[in-house]
Structures are given as structure tokens and as C-alpha cells.
Chains A and B, each alone.
Chain A
Amino acid sequence: MGTTVAEIKDIKKSFGSNNVLAGLNLKVESGENLVVFGKSGSGKSVLIKCLVGLLEPDEGTAILFGENVSELKERELNLVRKKVGFLFQSAALYDSMTVRENLEFPLRDLKPKTNEETDALIIEALTNVGLADAIDKMPSELSGGMRKRVGLARTLILKPELILYDEPTTGLDPITSKEISHLILDIQKKYNTASIIITHDVECARITSNRMIIIKNGTAIAEGTFKELAESTDEWVRSFFK
């Protein structure tokens, strides 16, 4: 059992009268891939946005590397965030920058590096996702799968200890989805990163998960390995895997 890198304690979050999270708990250990599974609109993305302080929970605590996120000052929070990678559903590449500039951007606040060192880091990150030849392209020239890969490379460049994947395979064809899922697994093995993978893609969950939780009505209603949940006695849980 590794150390706990992220923990969510009894988090509640509402948007108007819509209670999205209603007392959810989870814990992620170092080197572990945790898949958060659930229907669309069940609050999976809200969960990881609360974890990194992009959204303020109404109640409950989000803890990253032992620090209570809501109690951190902006500067302290930014330091903790440097240890976390976030792959957005849309990849969120900066439109006005080339792939190289997109990857350079998160490095700006780190210790001064020579151009050669920066280039080596960029090429290493792009090689890891199989896109070294796209270095001078603009995001508009990339396909959906390539954008996700570049987004992942940008996440990897800071060598994060925890990566949060928000629907990494949504909008991709089955072959590219599988490639991205295997890439997530490769990254875990290579860098020993912990991950929270938000998805409703069964194949992605099967490939990437060490452990899964299933969210319903804002709380975790089931937890276990992919196999355990696929063979659950609960009909609703089992219905996800059919």
C-alpha cells in the first residue's frame, strides 16, 4: 500500500437546486489508477475540479499531498498544483501557441533552463505520446486524438505525481480510444504516477483501472476492481458493464 496522494472527504456541491455531489468520499494511493465511473452528469468532472481548487465545494474537504486545498493561499495552491497534471476533456490546448509553446508554457515558472534542456524535455514528452513530429504544428492542425496526446504530453512535462484525466476517450473512435487508454497505462508504469480517471467508457476502465468507484446521485455507491464490479450483485452497477 502506497502513501495517500489525494483524498476527498464528504464533499458536497450544488449548482442551484441541483445537488451534484452529496457527501462523496475517495482516496488515491501513490502509483494507483483509480477510475471514477458513472452516468453523464453524475458529477464526476465536478469532483476532480473540486480536488484541484477550480471549484469550491459547499461542504467537505479536498486534500492533495496532505494539504487541505481550500485552506491554501493562492501561491501555496499553485505549488501543490505543480505536482498535479490535468488532462481536460477538450485537451484545452492554447490555440494561439504551437505545440512546442504549449509544452514550454508550464515550464516558465520553474528554475531557469537552457534552450537545449527545455527542447530535450519537450521532445521527451512528445516522444512518450508518439507525436515528436508534431512539435511545430498549431493545435488547429491536429486531430482529436492528437490533441489529447499533446494535452497529455503537456501534462507529463512537469513530471506530475498525480494525473487527473477528465473523460480521456470521449469523442474518439474505438481504436484511438484504446490507444489513449494504453498510453495512460504506459505512463503509470513508466513514471509510477497515481491517476484519477473520469470516464464512462467501459473499455477504458477495463484497461486502465486498478480500482474503480461508481457514482450515483452524488455519492459512491460501489467500489472494487473492474472484475468485482462487473460481477456485482447490484443490477444497476452490473448494467454499466453489459
Chain B
Amino acid sequence: MPTGLENKSETVAVSSSAYFLKPVKAFFEEVTAITRFAFRFFKELFMPRYELKELIRQSYLLGYKSLPLIAVTGFIMGIVLIIQSRPTLASFGAESWLPAMVSVSIIREMGPAIAALIFAGKVGSGIAAELASMKVTEQIDAMEVSGINPFKYIVVTRIIAATIMLPVLVILSDAISLYGGFLAVNLKGDISLHLYFSQVFQALAFTDIFPAFIKTIFFGFAVGLIGCYYGYNSAHGTEGVGKAANQSFVYGSISIFVLDMMAVQITSFFI
């Protein structure tokens, strides 16, 4: 004799599976939309007109204006890394390895990852907020009705600028970090700048520098792409501006870690 409980348990099972499937479906829909956005970027990239003036302006705004923040964090990172590592290395009597250790850590991983995360926070969310505001105030529509392709002018230039400028910032940040490390080494020791940098470069191989540089190009592209995607497709209203900036930082940061993980796996095949 049917009790009616069978139907109830089926309903619970369906609703719980829907509960779990909904975010998964939303995630894949979002990834698909971002991929489409990226395809549109590559399509527009090679078609004239080329917005060189705007690209230079964006490179200045995204790169040069981010330099102080990335330089300061890089400098502090170099100092902190030495101060934290010294006791451990000292317990093995390996303090002389400090320059080598700091160089490999910074060049391979910490420099690119930390600079990229700061870039995602400052530049990625800034791009998203700016584009979302332009959408709210109908500036993007105004470009479109005056016969100008807003995707090309606004999106393509920002993604290229982010892709170019992050690697440049990482190189500068790494150099400043290493200098910070030099100062920290000298807090409890005495080493000349020449000797310090000799040890730094002796510890580095081509396989440390090249993959690290290449992955920063992808980090920059991801930050620019995600910032532009969330800004360009934001919902109307001021709430949409905040949400776009927030999503840009969250997904930009996650994409940096995912790309980093992939880069490490790919690099490990060649080392």
C-alpha cells in the first residue's frame, strides 16, 4: 500500500540534486560566456581600426600608475622572506645560501604571484568598476550609436595593456624584491651588493626565469579579460558596479592560481 513517503523522498532527492547542480551549471555557463568574450577579443584584435593612442594611455594608467604599489609590496616581500628564512637556514649553518634561496623563491613563484594578485586587486577591479560605470551612465551606448565599436576601443585596449604591463611590473618588482633581500641580509651580516647579486644570478637558470616570465603574460591577460568581462556585462545600477569590481577580483585571483598551477605542471615536464 503506497504511503506517500516514496513521493516525498523522491522530491527531496530531486530538490537536493537541483541544489547542487545549480551552482555547477552557473559556473559552466559563466566559463562559456568568458570564453566567448575571449574569442570576440581575438577576433576584434586583428581587425582595423587599431586604437594605438588609447592603448598607450591604458598602458600608462594600468602599468605606470600601479608601479608604486607593486614596488612597495615587492620591496617588503624581499625583506620579509630573508628575515623569515634566516633562522631556519642558520640552524643548518647555511646562511650563505640566503641570496640563492631568495632569488629562486622570488623569481620562480612569489614575485609573479604576488604582483599578479595585487594587479588583480588594483587594476582588474578598477577596469570592471570603470566599465560598469560607463555602462550605467550610457557611455558605452553613446559610443555605439555614434558608429564607434566600443568593444574595440574599451575592451581590446585594456586587455592588451594588462597583458603587456603585468610582465613589465613583475620584472621591476622582482628586481626591487631582490634589492630588499640584499638590505635584509645586511641587517645581521655583511655582504657586498656585487657578491649578493653574483650569488643571486648563479642560483638562477634559464628554466627559472623564462617560464616565470611567460606565465605573467597569461596572468595579465586573465586579469584584463576578467575585469573587462564583468564590467562590460554588468547589470545596470550602482549595485552592478560594486558587484562587477568584486567578481573581477575574486575570479581574477582564482584564475591566477589556476594558471599558476598549470604553469608549474607544464614547466615540470621540461626540467
- Residues of chain A whose beta carbon lies under 8 Å from any beta carbon of chain B: 49, 52, 54, 74, 78-79, 81-82, 84, 86, 88-90, 92-95, 105-106, 108-109, 154, 158
Nearest to A83 among chain B residues (CB) is: B147
- CA of A158 to CA of B138 in the docked complex: distance in angstroms? 19
Task: Sample 30 A-B pairs with CB under 8 A, ordered by A number.
Answer: A49-B141, A52-B145, A54-B141, A74-B149, A78-B147, A81-B145, A81-B146, A81-B147, A82-B146, A82-B147, A84-B145, A86-B141, A86-B142, A86-B145, A88-B141, A88-B142, A90-B138, A92-B137, A92-B139, A92-B141, A95-B134, A95-B139, A105-B146, A106-B146, A106-B148, A109-B49, A109-B147, A109-B148, A154-B146, A158-B146
Q: Nearest Cβ in chain A — how far from B41, in angstroms?
A: 16
Nearest to B145 among chain A residues (CB) is: A86
Asked if B30 is at the interface (CB within 8 A of a chain A CB), the reply is no
- CA of A88 to CA of B140 in the docked complex: distance in angstroms? 11
Asked if B29 is at the interface (CB within 8 A of a chain A CB), the reply is no
- CA of A105 to CA of B153 in the docked complex: distance in angstroms? 11
> In residues 15-70 of chain B, which contact A (Cβ within 8 Å)?
49
- CA of A54 to CA of B150 in the docked complex: distance in angstroms? 12
Residues of A within 8 A of B137 (CB): 90, 92, 95
Asked if B109 is at the interface (CB within 8 A of a chain A CB), the reply is no
Q: Nearest Cβ in chain B — how far from A224, in angstroms?
A: 29
B142 & A92 in contact (Cβ 8 Å cutoff): yes
Q: Nearest Cβ in chain A — how far from B40, in angstroms?
A: 12
Interface string of B110-151 (1 = CB under 8 A from A): 000000000000000000000001100111011111111100
Q: Nearest Cβ in chain A — how far from B48, in angstroms?
A: 11
B138 & A88 in contact (Cβ 8 Å cutoff): yes
Residues of B within 8 A of A52 (CB): 145
A79 & B138 in contact (Cβ 8 Å cutoff): no
Q: Nearest Cβ in chain A — how far from B257, in angstroms?
A: 32
Residues of A within 8 A of B143 (CB): 105
Q: Nearest Cβ in chain A — how far from B228, in angstroms?
A: 16
- CA of A52 to CA of B143 in the docked complex: distance in angstroms? 12
- Residues of chain B whose beta carbon lies under 8 Å from any beta carbon of chain A: 49, 133-134, 137-139, 141-149
A79 & B147 in contact (Cβ 8 Å cutoff): yes
Q: Nearest Cβ in chain B — how far from A119, in angstroms?
A: 18
Residues of B within 8 A of A81 (CB): 144-147
A108 & B138 in contact (Cβ 8 Å cutoff): no
- CA of A41 to CA of B48 in the docked complex: distance in angstroms? 39
- CA of A88 to CA of B141 in the docked complex: distance in angstroms? 9
A54 & B145 in contact (Cβ 8 Å cutoff): yes
- CA of A79 to CA of B49 in the docked complex: distance in angstroms? 15
- CA of A205 to CA of B149 in the docked complex: distance in angstroms? 33
Q: Nearest Cβ in chain A — how far from B116, in angstroms?
A: 25
- CA of A54 to CA of B140 in the docked complex: distance in angstroms? 10
- CA of A76 to CA of B142 in the docked complex: distance in angstroms? 17
Residues of B within 8 A of A95 (CB): 133-134, 137, 139
Task: In the A-B complex, list the 9 residue pairs whose CB atoms are closest, starting with the nearest.
Answer: A92-B142, A78-B147, A92-B138, A106-B146, A86-B145, A81-B147, A88-B138, A82-B147, A92-B139
Find B148's partner among A49, A86, A90, A105 (CB 8 Å cutoff): A105
**Known A49-B141, A78-B147; 6 more pairs at CB < 8 Å:** A74-B149, A81-B147, A90-B137, A92-B137, A95-B137, A105-B146
Residues of B within 8 A of A158 (CB): 146
Residues of A within 8 A of B144 (CB): 54, 81
- CA of A126 to CA of B137 in the docked complex: distance in angstroms? 22
* Most interface-central of B134, B137, B144, B147 (chain A CB within 10 A): B147
Residues of B within 8 A of A108 (CB): 148
Residues of A within 8 A of B133 (CB): 95
- CA of A154 to CA of B142 in the docked complex: distance in angstroms? 10
- CA of A92 to CA of B139 in the docked complex: distance in angstroms? 5
Residues of A within 8 A of B142 (CB): 86, 88, 92, 94
Q: Nearest Cβ in chain B — how far from A182, in angstroms?
A: 24
- CA of A74 to CA of B47 in the docked complex: distance in angstroms? 13
- CA of A105 to CA of B147 in the docked complex: distance in angstroms? 11
